[in-house]
Structure 1
Amino acid sequence: MTTTQEISQLYPNALWNWFAQICAIPHPSKHEAKLSEHIQRWAAEKGLPVVVDHVGNLIIRKPATAGMENRKIVVIQAHLDMVPQKNADKQHDFVLDAIEPRIDGEWVKANGTTLGADNGIGMASALAILGANDIPHGPLEVLLTVDEEAGMTGAFGLQAGMLNADILINTDSEQEGEIYMGCAGGVDAEIRLPLEMETVPSGLQAFTLYISGLKGGHSGVNIHLGRGNANKLLARFMAGHADELNIRIADITGGTLRNAIPREAQCQFLIPSAHIPLLTQRIAQYEQILQAELSQTEPSLKVRIEENKSLPQQVLSLPSQQRWIHFLNACPNGVIRMSDDIPGVTETSLNLGVISIENGQGRALCLIRSLIDTGREQVESMLTSLSAIAGAEITLSGCYPGWKPDTSSPVMKIVKDTYESIYHKEPDIMVIHAGLECGLFKKHYPELDMVSIGPTIRFPHGPDEMVNIKTVGQYWELLLAVLARIPEKTA
């Protein structure tokens, strides 16, 4: 097992030392207080002024190094929270337990959970710069926002007048060699379908169907890769075979976050004893079908059933069961449209992230993303129509704007030129199909010149999350070189 000391010895030491501290303090979305307090105490010991705003965002300021007092003010921005995802066999409480980082060749991973490199590496870089005495820079602000992963509460709540900066460097990108100048906007959709329950018929046996072994991942960054959505795969089987097998559903659950592609889903159901051999046959056939269809993207996919020793007390009525299964099977998911303007970039998508039955209702949580408002509105309309057909209610909330690309951005040119001077190759100027906070910052700070950079992070929002060690060093070198090249304020 890798120790935190070994993590701290990676290059750059100051950044990795902070990342080890961040991993040691639980900080899932909406539970960032302990980490925030730790950072506040450290800043106070360093004599760095700290402001905590009304939603919990931290703003830490540091004076310029000698001779750079007239440079434009830069705010380095990251978010405090991380996505809490774990493997089914991993015992871990994200509110109480530390993340266990480990070195695996060229990567740092976690032990059965998300690592929190998204956005812990960016946060660590900002704190390392605040603590350094040998890094040239102009006046600095560090903005650490709360709840980015579960609603962007911090970005929504940031008020005008809190920042003095001219330039914002967002550290939430996930590919070395790419500079981001725009991102998708999004909206949450919650669908609730009233369901009728009835007493379990006699003569039935109980089973649980499991869809597992999927990669999952970030519902923006990975949505175009064709990965399986466990919720959709489960609904597909039930839509195809529930009537044939006389299945009676007691419960159905899948996914944990609206912004993570679901890796696992399960359905508790009952079936007549006479149909058990056919059920076994259909499960084996379905697994073969999915393994053939998804052999490249989901090599570890599993479809299995387990017999339950105890029977549930109630099942869905047949009309309710049919409405719920057909809704889930018909619900759009994945890439809706690719961008015509930016080749290779997803324009609009939807992720059916969470499904459950609770309090007599079927519940589905989706995240719609789009680079353009009309694309988002189209998917909102599709879901609204589908909900109306099914007799469900839909609630749309948390709408946040995209970050419109600015090809004339001065800071983007500085980062591009700096990258070329260090690595002697051109970086890719990109727009990301994920929800960076930059679009929300523009509301109160329309003149803020923004750019987003970061190291290479693979499989964020899932337990396979990893960050490439070499690219952390490259990201650090680029960030420091950019700070040294920030121009003076013009009169």
Structure 2
Amino acid sequence: MSDLVRSLEPHQLWNHFADLNSVPRPSKKEEEVRKFMVNFAKELSLVVLQDDIGNVIIKKPASEGMENRKSVILQSHLDMVHQKNNDTVFDFETQGIEMEIQSDRVKAKGTTLGADNGIGVAAIMAILSSKNIAHPAIEALFTIDEETGMTGAKKLDKTILSSEILLNLDTEEDDEIDIGCAGGIDITGTRTYKTISPDSSFVTKKITVKGLKGGHSGMDIHKGLGNANKLNTRLMDAMQKKGVVHLQEFNGGSLRNAIPREAVSVVRFRESEQEGIIHSFTKCMNAIEKEYQSIEPNLSISIEDATGKDVLEGKDSEHLIYMILGIQNGVYRWSPDFDDLVEASNNLARIELNDGKLEVACLTRSSVDSVKDDLKATVRGVMELNNLEVVFSGDYPGWEPKPDSDILNVATSIYTDLFTQEPRVVACHAGLECGILGERYPGLDMISFGPNIRGAHSPDEYVEIRSVQKFWKFLLEILGKIPEA
């Protein structure tokens, strides 16, 4: 079925996307895709460079008649988020993505598609390999490890690029031109608990929450989607209202930038209290299913017998449950300056408890540094009250909007002429690399745009075929009308 993708228009873009998706490209393990890009450039006899961190830069001279235009950086990231359905057997490190066409959509079979940011990469490859597209001199920048730290952008060589304009091809609404984005920081809390061995009067139960949509922790955080970590903990809290519940294990969520789709906990409690505890669980489960029936139609909650082992003491379990409930999740503040823009949010992304060792991982985003600091303090405070050791890492800046940007004016005019309506000029809550790249190269005139991609960072991810065609047309028109130097 993946071969059918190659027949789509524009052929050159979809063929490069199919080639790219045959190469494993997990974040922090981009060796294969970097080799792929270097070989691609060499086959075209183009100048190709790699900086010390591993970013790939390919340079192409201007097409005939475009030599007097300003040169342009075309930028996308090479890595992709790896998520799959529980029942999908797939090895992201060795297998290529298996794609299929469903009506106007291209999606993957049970995994993330990698349209984020593979469509951007493929578009740039199509321009680099073309012989008849009008364009100025191009510096194609392919960054690494965008999804789990923006490492490539942060450590980009400060002398390797010389262009004045940057087109970032990493947004997911084809009627938008982005001119700003949120910054972010990772928050990790850890603790080791004393464990005890309950006697034979205890029963052991496994609680599973699955089937949630998940999604991008920036672009989808405002949608009110279920967070599996929160919902599982809410069920445990209902149970402990009817008896002492000892927490044995917790395994919820995966990547920091993905809203948790699944969470499994294991608890133990006295058999004599089982009737009341299970009744309270069922009542809470029914309430959750009713609350989410319209937005999470595939939500599944179950409880079943499990194998018991050592657990946390009762008070430690109680306080840990309260802590998880107390950690901010979702929108923290809406922007007072941009309509419908999330200014700050937190994603309670990952919880792992095993053999008394706990790790809680969050991704905090904000377009305003002072609000990011406030939210950091809020999350840290809840964790430290429960005696977790808190570490901040991966801090990256936001991208301050510049509504008077020259390239924005060019792009807005082109969009209006092509599609007979004005684009939405926005700032987004995702963590685009533009803020970091602007720090590395002060003065860059930047915009970001892309096709409609839905369900990014989840196995439901798909890209709209007609939207890719629209995006491609828009990109080529911009390249053909870059101002003179």
Which band: TM-score by shorter chain? over 0.9
Matches within 5 A, 1:32-71: 32-71=30-69
Cα deviation code 1:153-198 (max 9, x no counterpart) = 0010112111111100000000011100000011100011331112
Aligned to 2:102: 104
> Equivalent of 1:79, from 62, 77, 82?
77
> Equivalent of 1:311, from 308, 311, 319?
308
Aligned to 2:216: 218
Aligned to 1:395: 391
Matches within 5 A, 1:184-195: 184-195=182-193
> Equivalent of 1:415, from 367, 390, 411?
411
My pick for the range that moved more, 124-133 or 229-238, is 229-238
How far is the alpha carbon of 1:453 from its aligned partner?
Answer: 0.5
Matches within 5 A, 1:81-480: 81-308=79-306, 310-312=307-309, 314-358=310-354, 360-480=356-476
Cα deviation code 1:277-336 (max 9, x no counterpart) = 44443333222101221222212211101212x332x11122321222111111111000
User: Is this contact kept in 1: 2:242–2:280, CA < 8 A?
Assistant: no
Q: Specify the SS of the correspondent of 2:106.
A: strand
Q: Which amino acid aligns with 2:130?
A: A
How far is the alpha carbon of 1:107 from its aligned partner?
Answer: 0.6
Change beyond 3 A, Cα 1:484–1:410: same
Identity of aligned residues (%): 40
Q: What's the TM-score once normalised by structure 2's chain length?
A: 0.98
Cα deviation code 1:129-157 (max 9, x no counterpart) = 10000100010010000000000000101
Q: Specify the SS of the correspondent of 1:193.
A: strand
In 2: Cα distance, 1:285 partner to 1:98 partner: 44
How far is the alpha carbon of 1:70 from its aligned partner?
Answer: 1.4
Cα deviation code 1:343-374 (max 9, x no counterpart) = 10101100000000146432111011011001
Unaligned runs of 5+ in 2: none
| Count of residues in correspondence between the two structures | 485
In 2: Cα distance, 1:412 partner to 1:261 partner: 32
My pick for the range that moved more, 277-286 or 209-218, is 277-286
Q: What's the TM-score once normalised by structure 1's chain length?
A: 0.97
User: Is this contact kept in 2: 1:232–1:329, CA < 8 A?
Assistant: yes
User: Is this contact kept in 1: 2:312–2:356, CA < 8 A?
Assistant: no
User: Is this contact kept in 2: 1:287–1:302, CA < 8 A?
Assistant: no
User: Is this contact kept in 2: 1:193–1:324, CA < 8 A?
Assistant: no
Q: Specify the SS of the correspondent of 1:439.
A: helix
In 2: Cα distance, 1:42 partner to 1:60 partner: 10
In 1: Cα distance, 2:3 partner to 2:387 partner: 56
How far is the alpha carbon of 1:390 from its aligned partner?
Answer: 1.2
